[in-house]
Structure 1
Amino acid sequence: MLSFEEIKTLMKEMDSSSISEFKFEEEGTKITLRKSDAFSVKATAQPVATVAAPVASPAPVQAVPAEKKKAATGSQDTDALHKVTAPMVGTFYSTPSPDAEPYVKNGSKVDKKTIVCTLEAMKLFNEIEADCKGTIVEVLAADGQLVEFGQPLFLVKED
């Protein structure tokens, strides 16, 4: 598998070249880097390979009392809901472009391959899939928010 530094070097080289797409596959991990008109560079990975990267000063995560969680999700127990989490550190975007509709919103039906958001990391826009079948109960991140590895982004009531 490529190291974080090797991936970062590939992204920089691709960004400054005329290459529009790069694919890499090794031991069941696939990485595809694509340039896009809407964004500088776009990447997808299956399965998502995560690399922990240091962050200068992450936003503090505040604990929310269980009573407030239940109130925010219509009195459902959030422990019974599936959490779609961030597979990497990055900036959360709920839309494919600034003038587009959100990928999903509260009440949207999703399946395992439904794209729910993009995370930008080093000019790469990574499409994040729901990884379960169900209904979006709550969007937990705001557009433009920096999210941490493993941070819950969506709550999904599984079918």
Structure 2
Amino acid sequence: MEEFKLALFLTLTGSAIGTSTALFVAFWRTRYTVKSQDLSKRIELLCDSISKLEELSCQFWNGDEKVSQHYILGYKEKISLSVEYLENEYTRFPKGAVNVALKEFFVACTGGDFESQVRKVNPQAQRSVLITGETLQVELLKIRNSLY
């Protein structure tokens, strides 16, 4: 009878440890998956915003009077806030990793005679906006792939 109690105790203890371990692993795996999906979605949304700013800036540098300077400046701030959020929220997100590409993109969007009242069509600025915008998006995608 003693052997039966010992075997039952060992079986129940082993089952409890196994179940606890499985639950613990499932919890952390789910948490990791959710976090990586969240990062992926935020980078996707950020890339969409970058594409939108590319479009607005190219229209602006093409002489489109409908595009507001303030709207472009607002989009720049929106993108800056999103990058700052990623740097603060995701501890493994390399701080400052996209800053050079981001700065070059912003200069392309609002550099030169952006603030001038007399706006000239500037194909070179349009080209620069598209190239630096894509470079920034590629940097973000590299980070996403390296983290998860």
Q: Which has the higher helix share?
A: 2
- Tell me if TM exceeds 0.5: no
Larger radius of gyration: 2
Scaled by the length of structure 2, what TM-score is found? 0.22
Larger relative CO (CA 8 A, sep 6+): 1 or 2?
2
Scaled by the length of structure 1, what TM-score is found? 0.21
